[in-house]
Chains A and B, each alone.
Chain A
């Protein structure tokens, strides 16, 4: 599904540069639910951004679903992002002047679907996250948990192969966090591959595999017994 080898990334800081990723090797199979852990500055978000083609690696190989991701033109990257990836952000990143349904349908617009189809698919996914009744509300009229569920519906809308979540519960309280995790587990049960960046142990334990990063290298990579979020909800 996803294969990364010897991935390096550094950011220029003034005259010197900060070496963030120092040779990452990672392989993720289809249907996995992986937590990428690490303290701030460990490079976990950078890794996720490179996987998400939001950022580019300096060197190393990255193969996603058999397609080598290298030297992409902006246009090609846009097509791949749209086809392969669904993003869930800590700060939701909904477009504030579009209502829930329009936000969910936006990736479908970039897929070139007809308006009617977009509306139908968007509603289907909103129903899936339990927010069909809120379809015509603006993000500002929704709670944090609701916003994140709209964002998840949006990430699912294009039917991506891989879901990438960057601190999806970072801006939410514990109960809401577990609700979101329960939903992500449910999606994983249905076969979606999910990558979650987090620094919270309890969130990591709800995944099936935990990869720990420190100072740009993988310290630990182990399978864990998944804690079902439903027991807390």
Chain B
């Protein structure tokens, strides 16, 4: 039932006792604000890590070659290890269904021209599987395919920003681009969730690059993803076995760290996951601590308010106020103040996150924000705590004899 007179009484009490209202509201504003900011920053940290891993497939393994640092089996240190197509096929054939996707990479830098526009770009010569490893998103056209590989066609797939740079406002698809003197047909335009540099790349078939740049079978890097059904530990064992087999194949000392480098994302992912869990627990504890501090604060204030109003309660009772009306007037006032203050705290908290958010990116905090249900939960908790903390002393005050309340000076 909506009792206009009751609300009038409450608003008068709130309005005429501003200091009291502000003090009790402030505790709640502060608690909710801290809560919001704290959770916002944690979410920002989480966002940073999620984004860092969103770019590439999570189950990636990168295999690079370098120079040997140890002499082994009569071979001297300092020998350069060069992967070739046969090594790529070896890994592919040897591991069967443990490998999900696999691609070679050859890196080249080219000067690209289209009509009057000219710029330098990195070229990656790859296998078709590379699209899934890198999570390349095709905006237009198609990716490198198996036919391109077999026929060594002179086709390229260019990044969204390459199209923007060189083709200005026209469509690049189907046109010919000049890469360091050779014409390639553009068969696709892609975008990527990673940073802008990822969208300034040009992909071409690995076989085409091998023919054009030196007519050899050299490969710079082999990337693969392991079967996603493997767990972290199996994945790490798998990458260790690849490293071991390759070292035997190239007659490299087992402890040589630089000749063959196998980087498994599973390891990094595992560490990050653990860190995020720990971070989550810490923030949860601190957040709950903030909330509890808020609850204690609002409880203290409610007890103080009831004490302060004891005489008023006595007067009201002498004039015929029922205990119920005394309790409801105090309770509704406290709930109203905590609810509004909670909302203000939320606004200030999210406001600070919005304002400070962009400046925090260098501290690994991306887009800090909180989910509304979480903050609503926190506010409701405080409102309930305030209501309970107000109810108990109000109930007590409504029961004391009016004469005792009136004597309270």
Contacts and interface: CB of A to CB of B under 8 A. Distances in A.
Interface of A: 49, 52, 54-56, 74-75, 78-79, 81-83, 87, 89, 91, 93-95, 97-98, 102, 106-107, 109-111, 115, 154, 158
A87 B12 contact: no
Contacts of B320: 78-79, 81-83, 107, 110-111, 158
A154 B320 CA distance: 12
Contacts of B16: 97-98
Contacts of A78: 317, 320-323
Nearest to A73: B323
A191 B399 CA distance: 34
Contacts of B403: 49, 54-55
Nearest to B4: A115
Given A54-B401, A93-B311, A93-B406, A81 B322 contact: no
B139 interface: no
Which of A78, A79, A97 has the most CB atoms of chain B within a 10 A radius of its CB?
Answer: A78
Given A54-B318, A87-B318, A93-B311, A109 B398 contact: no
Nearest to B323: A74
Given A78-B317, A93-B314, A109-B9, 5 more contacts: A78-B322, A82-B319, A91-B409, A97-B16, A110-B321
A56 B401 contact: yes
25 contacts: A54-B406, A55-B403, A56-B401, A74-B322, A74-B323, A74-B399, A75-B322, A78-B321, A78-B322, A79-B320, A81-B319, A82-B320, A87-B318, A87-B319, A89-B406, A93-B311, A93-B315, A93-B318, A93-B406, A102-B12, A110-B319, A110-B325, A115-B4, A115-B8, A158-B320
B321 A98 contact: no
Contacts of A154: 319
B269 interface: no
B219 to A, nearest CB: 84
Contacts of B322: 74-75, 78-79, 110
Interface of B: 4-5, 8-9, 12-13, 16-17, 311-312, 314-325, 398-399, 401-403, 406, 409
Which of B324, B398, B401 has the most CB atoms of chain A within a 10 A radius of its CB?
Answer: B401
B320 to A, nearest CB: 2
Contacts of B317: 78, 81
Contacts of B324: 75
Which of B4, B311, B318, B323 has the most CB atoms of chain A within a 10 A radius of its CB?
Answer: B318
A94 B4 CA distance: 23
Given A75-B323, A93-B406, A55 B318 contact: no
A98 B12 contact: yes
B1 to A, nearest CB: 13
Contacts of A81: 317-320
A165 B323 CA distance: 24
Contacts of A54: 318, 401-403, 406
